[in-house]
Structure 1
């Protein structure tokens, strides 16, 4: 118990306000509070009425980004973990538009009303200006009165692995199984079709086989990207060839049944330097999202155009409109409007495009105009590459 108390008292208190420092000193006089925090099998903190950390256990400090271990006191949760939404909030963590949908913030407010609350929250973290990870937490907020002080005991259980397992289970037990079933069904038709239909059946079977491989490789690359174990294999890419490839790959997809995919040729082709495989997977995820959002009989369109002298845009458009609540959460790893085990589509696109390919992803959605998701990438040495291609 002495070692626990020693750790709690060694934490830097200079970031606390005078009132919070006095509160902390009163709390430390409790013979039970600090040992109780350390007894939690999860990360745990004590929050004041401003939702600032005044005490925390060792597990919480060890889990925080490097460079914050000695200055956690006085921070709100989003500030401590490096939440991207916190940086855009006018009054810090808990005050932004996206914060109104954060499970951690909602649980804290509920506890301040005197109620015990359990929520799930998703956090995209940043450290030193670079992506630091995507986390899923199950949080518990419990009101506690010690003497005349009302505080909140707040614990966080990292359920990121559980969410990842749900996604992988869905991919391999649903998506892959469905595609494999399509391959089997087509193969059973070979002895029933005429010679004239044979070539078309071969083409369909090849498309489904490519889709099956793509589903598996996409998950492999997503996991590698999250671990920073993937790098771009750069080579010249034609925007026309890229869109034709994505169109050919997904026109056989089960989601495309009763729906149409069109490629707009609204600008001359551009040659850029990028990783063709990763880019196709990113655009493919956008196509799948658009197909899922489209009603039967509707058409989604793909386009590519030069934005300026240095960048090119790939876009996927559909007629559906995304609500504001969904827009605020759609970049989170496990957020989905489609149920358990879903929700990595947009997250995976951003991860690949922004972390690996050096581009950016934007979303516009308006009534009457539908939704367009754009992937903007650097062209790099476009002129030199075009000359090389022409010479070859």
Structure 2
């Protein structure tokens, strides 16, 4: 028998209306939902959590993914209940009216989405922060709730889709906290390095300056990363700044000199880098070129050589990085494919993809390569000297970079 509350008079509520459907009406709607082939197909095909609700937000049908997530073996146990009661929300019984009627339900994303969808008769979507209790243990979840009103044989019902985004939100929160702490540590490091430069022998002072340059670059990398990690960041309002090509080459060479991949390998630089100015976002430029250079060094055996060349022609600059290695034919079509890597381990397959993304989407240039037995492998970044034709080319694409 479907679950119905025993209270005969609707109590005062804080959010959504509390009265439930009568047992007869609820049973009729449940049978109708069970006999509807479209609903049956939807529940079978859905990969996330999906429930069909009546106007009183009681469950008429639910898919197996929802039940499996909750450890519920019998579907009938969920019928007639409200979503928070099925999920085990700790606030589901704060009010005699049940889920949706208590004071905490006023700020519940799922309740707001259901209310908005029911009133406007159009889909509504909200984030839902939820604390559930199962077997005496509490767990904080973040769900993306989407309520969609439909008609089943003339009767209005709600489809409630719940997507568990807890891991994504937790990862984003940890990333924000990590970057905040990292910036604080960098500020302290920069202060310490500046003190090291005072009254030091020339060699030590020069090394301190290199550390300071790298620390400042890392601080700027963090700022850029934070802008790229959201749908719209500061980069959407910048066209970059003017930087000299010879200084770009010098900074790249200084950073590479201390990289483990450069050990026992030679890096040949342009004899006379062009003293030409380029309008660009310098941190992103260094990030693209550093990835290219480190990849070339890693592909070069000890004693081998990597070459960096810079050429300017017809208002564009081309950075070329060569090594004698050859990319296998089976790998060539996948070089810029995200998540693809010839190396084992989690998090691989990002470097060349990021080069392509930053070089083309954000810097407004072109990233390509050639590889052959006779000529080795050359990765190129081609950029307009005057910067992107449209400032919005610096804007990050929708979604998260990582």
Give the TM-score taking structure 1 as reference length.
0.47
